Structure 1
Amino acid sequence: MKNSIANSNDAHFIPSDDVAPVVVAIASSAGGLNALIQVLSGLPADLPAAIAVVQHLSPHYRSQMAEILNQRTALSVKEAETGDQLKPGWVFIAPPDHHLLVNSDGALMLNQAAKVHFSRPAANILFNSIAEKYKERAIAIVLTGRDSDGATGSQTIKQRGGIVIAQDEATSKFFSMPNAAIQTGFVDFVLPLADISTALGRLVMQKVAQRTVE
């Protein structure tokens, strides 16, 4: 586990095709909206990655998270729908009371299967599906939140060759979720919230460069 990422002078964001070369899955719960705003606001519109977000929300109210985030980031943000394609520069938010996952052809899918760790949507379901489909092209981020959602999914991401980032305790409003992921031993980077977007940009570009070489 590392606590910092080396600087890279080559981390220049480039326009990309309609299929995202890298997929980022973000999990957050209590305190997550502000954390998501800080992470997403630090990313450029031409980020060559798609981002899928699971934020634990009340099932009793319509979520306005996509609208809020859309005003705070250069990326395009929408509430996920079944059939959405993971395009670079887009952020897809799981709707309340629906699990969000990636199916075998790479499209997003929603369902209302049983709750996992009392959560629907559950980060573990998203992380596991992205790990199976995208393997080393997957990056998982576990932000502030209660409970342990995202821990087993982080392990799957890492075991399939992906990278896992967790928010550090000092900047987490609630450290239970990041800490549960860290305790698995499968987290690569534990970072302050303010450093996550920069680190994510560098990691995405490193993975894009690796694919170009391959």
Structure 2
Amino acid sequence: MHTPEAIVMGCSAGGLTALEALLAALDPQLSQPLVVCCHTGSSNVDMLCELLSGHAALPVIEAREREPLQPGMVHVAPSGYHLLVEPDRRFALSVDPRVSFARPSIDVLFDSAAEAYRDTLIGVVLTGANKDGAEGLASIRRLGGVAIVQEPGDAESPTMPQAALDHAGADHRLPLAAIAPLLNRLCLP
């Protein structure tokens, strides 16, 4: 893999707690944009951004239509829309039908980011109660990116990480506490 240029992350049930812990442990010098799709936070994304900001080492903002991915920022998928990364590395929003019963869908985000970033993308699947993210993580790996999956036994809800492992496999399968240190090692010079 080349030097990572972006990180995409997906979670569902138990995701808020997992994100708070992970984002708090990231190095504030991290320059890659990080894009988060969290089903449990999708009804009130302003509240989710506020909650995460209280823990995160990096600024947390809502992703907006046509805005570029900002270095060193955590972008959160907005409510009721699929969030896509365009080839020019700007966000696009879509109201296409739900995928795996979700909008925003982790698969939609991961698939589009994989196309935009190819072998410079890291995908992370955390705790969750459905299979969203498994197909998208397979796309990331197929295009040369790195796949990180939370150890299912360590997840509040093991269904999502287990589905990702079953469908896509992983380059790294780790307990939650080990994921941020790995991201710091992979992303910092």
Name the SS for the 2:152 alignment partner.
Answer: coil
Tell me how far apart the structure 2 counterparts of residues 169 and 159 of structure 1 sit (CA, whole Å): 22
The alpha carbon displacement at 1:45 in A equals 2.1
Structure 2 residue aligned with 1:74, among 57, 66, 69? 57
For the pair 1:182 / 2:159, whether they are aligned, the reply is no
Corresponding residue pairs, total: 187
Amino acid at match of 1:150: G
The alpha carbon displacement at 1:57 in A equals 3.4
Q: 1:101 to 1:31 in 2, by over 3 A?
A: same
Compute the TM-score of the two structures, normalised by the length of structure 1. Answer: 0.83
Amino acid at match of 1:83: R
The alpha carbon displacement at 1:49 in A equals 0.7
Q: 1:88 to 1:61 in 2, by over 3 A?
A: closer
**Larger helix share, 1 or 2:** 2
Q: How does 1:43-54 map to 2 (within 5 A)?
A: 43-54=26-37
Task: Give the conservation status (yes or no) of the 8 Å contact 2:149–2:172.
Answer: yes
Tell me how far apart the structure 2 counterparts of residues 107 and 197 of structure 1 sit (CA, whole Å): 25
Q: Which structure 2 segments of 5+ residues have no match?
A: none
CA offset digits 1:116-157 (Å, max 9, x no partner)? 011100000000011001011100000000110000000000
Amino acid at match of 1:196: I
Say what the alpha-carbon RMSD is for the aligned residues.
1.7
Identity of aligned residues (%): 37
Task: Give the conservation status (yes or no) of the 8 Å contact 1:46–1:88.
Answer: no
For the pair 1:121 / 2:104, whether they are aligned, the reply is yes
Q: How does 1:1-214 map to 2 (within 5 A)?
A: 22-57=5-40, 61=44, 63-205=46-188
Tell me how far apart the structure 2 counterparts of residues 83 and 129 of structure 1 sit (CA, whole Å): 14
Deviating above 4 A after TM superposition, structure 1's stretches of 4 or more consecutive aligned residues are: 58-63
Tell me how far apart the structure 2 counterparts of residues 195 and 130 of structure 1 sit (CA, whole Å): 24
Task: Give the conservation status (yes or no) of the 8 Å contact 1:57–1:63.
Answer: no
CA offset digits 1:15-39 (Å, max 9, x no partner)? xxxxx96110000000000100111
Task: Give the conservation status (yes or no) of the 8 Å contact 2:10–2:133.
Answer: yes
Q: 1:30 to 1:114 in 2, by over 3 A?
A: same
The alpha carbon displacement at 1:44 in A equals 2.1
Name the SS for the 1:38 alignment partner.
Answer: helix
Q: Which has the larger radius of gyration?
A: 1
